[in-house]
Structure 1
Amino acid sequence: MTQARRTAEKRDEFARLHTSGCFVMPNPWDVGTARCLEDMGFKAIASTSSGHAHANGLPDGAQTLPAVLAHLATLSAAVGIPLNADFENGFAEDIQQMQENIVQCVAAGVSGLSIEDAPQHGAAGLYDFEQAVDRIKAARAAIDQTGERVLLTARTEGFVKDAPDIQETVRRLKAFADAGADCLYAPGIQSQEHIQAVIQAAGGRAVNFLNGNALGFTAEDLAQLGIRRISVGGSLARAAMDSFLRVARDIAENGRFDGFDGLITNAELDRRFAGKA
């Protein structure tokens, strides 16, 4: 099977996953973690801007476009399941440049990508309403220009950008749906009431829920509420980094190596990845 055919099939499958039911789309940060998640039976994965940035010694949002595109191409080629790209704000303030970047993202082999309504590099606040809507319209047009079946997720970042206003969140999501988004996403919402408000605002389109903290929701709970897609953001990467830091700190401060007790062995990992090269 050609790479183009394989990519097309993954894109078709990703679109199908959004038509009914609920699926979990965890977020790896490198090839090894991506392949582990595929082997566990997950039907799709998504990149994590924070997980990949932290693995490269950078704060979230500080990665360059070339680095991100290379990462996406590597992840997509490494697995046989769809990859959704955390594409932040499209890596451009200028809309035309954002569109050009989206075309490059599609060319990296992704099956979907998300666009946020907030600037990069830790800038405060959101784009104003009209600008945010125009950017989603432009993102839709850029994807359509490629002729590829790539799913567009529109994100509104108020609840993670210190502007937790559910009415404004709903307003934006409704407008993003009208602008051509296939999936709606409001990271940071936590209550059942807010989840239901977002699902209603989506007007039948798929809704992604970020379940990256100990919120108490199971996948079944969220499916019953009407969530179509569940992601975990950078939480798996943070779990790995947390374990690394705790064990390394105990060595540095106490000269103790107890944190290595019970670890998976090199032989087990070799068996897991045998034949993947």
Structure 2
Amino acid sequence: MSESGERPRRRDAILLLPDADAACMNSTPATERFRHLHRDGLLLLANAWDAGSARLVESLGAPAVATTSAGLAWAQGHADGDRLPPERLLAAVAPIARTVRVPLSVDLESGYSDDPGAVAELVLRLAGLGVCGINLEDGAGPPERLCAKIERIKRACAAAGTDVFVNARTDVYLLGLAPAGERVAATLARAAAYREAGADGLFVPGLSAEAEIGMIAAAAGLPLNLMLVPRLPELERLRALGVRRLSAGAALAKRVYGLLAGLGARFLREGRLPDGPAMDYAALNALFER
């Protein structure tokens, strides 16, 4: 989760954005597959943090793979919160993109920069690796900052003849950026701005109340992405409400680290491990022999 801000959005920049037909013309097969996964049903993303976890998730039948910014940062020896150097991000994403064959989306936090041009350049470099989607968040900063970044990304992609699915994340709920009774309206206002700037999806982590989910899904004008949190409605209800994407976020990485902490402590204390489930070496190694 990051907190940053940006200069006000230039209204005339909107005129330079590609229209929907142009975006489709520039769309790669992987990006088009990823877009299609948001049109009907509910896309479940078990967020990975390195090539091994991404390949394992893919092998379980996942139609797409997405990274968790927190888990990926930890795996690279950095704290979450826009502290991962962009070059380290690129170095970490390259083996993931090489290893998996399903569409890959990468969480960019706030883009690791306040400069829209720098963020757009990073997105183009990721697209060059085969990434077809990104998450980009507003954090505690003004929505104009995220709008400027989305606009620049879309212009850069159009000029380069490529296309990336931009999932605009708003932290209205996660950070409590509006009073409880005003969060639906605040989220929809930001959704409208991000949609106008060129966003392809809307990510609202922290949103869990059924009635509010339904209102936002119906009025946002973008596929709604939620994050797995306590008290979230069941999958079938989420589908009926119009939710199109559910992300595990950092939950899987935290569970794995929790398991590793327990096992590691046991080994360091007793020099042995308890009996328990473990993947077979040959089966695990075979995942990467292709």
Aligned residue number for residue 47 of structure 1: 67
Q: SS of the residue aligned with 1:148?
A: coil
Aligned residue number for residue 226 of structure 1: 242
Aligned residue number for residue 269 of structure 1: 281
> Which one of 74, 87, 93 corresponds to residue 114 of structure 2?
93
Kept in 2, the 8 Å contact 1:174–1:201? The answer is: no
Q: TM-score, normalised by structure 2?
A: 0.81
Higher relative contact order (CA 8 A, sep 6+): 2
Amino acid at match of 1:239: R
| Counterpart check, 1:114 vs 2:128 | no
Q: SS of the residue aligned with 1:74?
A: helix
Amino acid at match of 2:246: I
| Counterpart check, 1:24 vs 2:63 | no
Kept in 1, the 8 Å contact 2:55–2:287? The answer is: no
Unmatched segments (≥5 aa) in structure 1: 1-6, 119-125
> Which one of 43, 55, 76 corresponds to residue 56 of structure 1?
76
Structure 1 position 256, deviation (Å)? 7.5
Output aligned runs, 1:120-269, within 5 Å. Answer: 126-165=140-179, 166=183, 167-203=185-221, 205-211=222-228, 213-252=229-268, 255=270, 257=272, 260-265=274-279, 268-269=280-281
Distance 1:275 1:172, change over 3 A: closer
Distance 1:138 1:244, change over 3 A: same
User: How far apart are the structure 1 equivalents of 2:106 and 2:91?
Assistant: 12
User: How far apart are the structure 2 equivalents of 1:220 and 1:209?
Assistant: 14
Per-residue Cα deviation, 1:134-186 (whole angstroms, up to 9, x for no partner):
23222322232322132111111232334255132221012111221111111
| Counterpart check, 1:14 vs 2:37 | no
Kept in 2, the 8 Å contact 1:25–1:232? The answer is: yes
Kept in 1, the 8 Å contact 2:208–2:232? The answer is: no
User: How far apart are the structure 2 equivalents of 1:256 and 1:74?
Assistant: 33
Structure 1 position 197, deviation (Å)? 2.8
RMSD across aligned C-alpha pairs, in angstroms?
A: 2.1
User: How far apart are the structure 2 equivalents of 1:216 and 1:160?
Assistant: 14
User: How far apart are the structure 1 equivalents of 2:62 and 2:246?
Assistant: 11
Amino acid at match of 2:125: Q
Q: Percent identity?
A: 29
Distance 1:197 1:109, change over 3 A: same
Amino acid at match of 2:225: N
Amino acid at match of 1:145: A
What stretches of structure 1 move > 6 A for 4+ residues in a row? none
Distance 1:77 1:257, change over 3 A: same
Kept in 2, the 8 Å contact 1:173–1:201? The answer is: no
Kept in 2, the 8 Å contact 1:70–1:108? The answer is: no
User: How far apart are the structure 1 equivalents of 2:118 and 2:64?
Assistant: 28
Q: SS of the residue aligned with 1:197?
A: helix
Equivalent pairs, count: 258
User: How far apart are the structure 1 equivalents of 2:208 and 2:113?
Assistant: 29
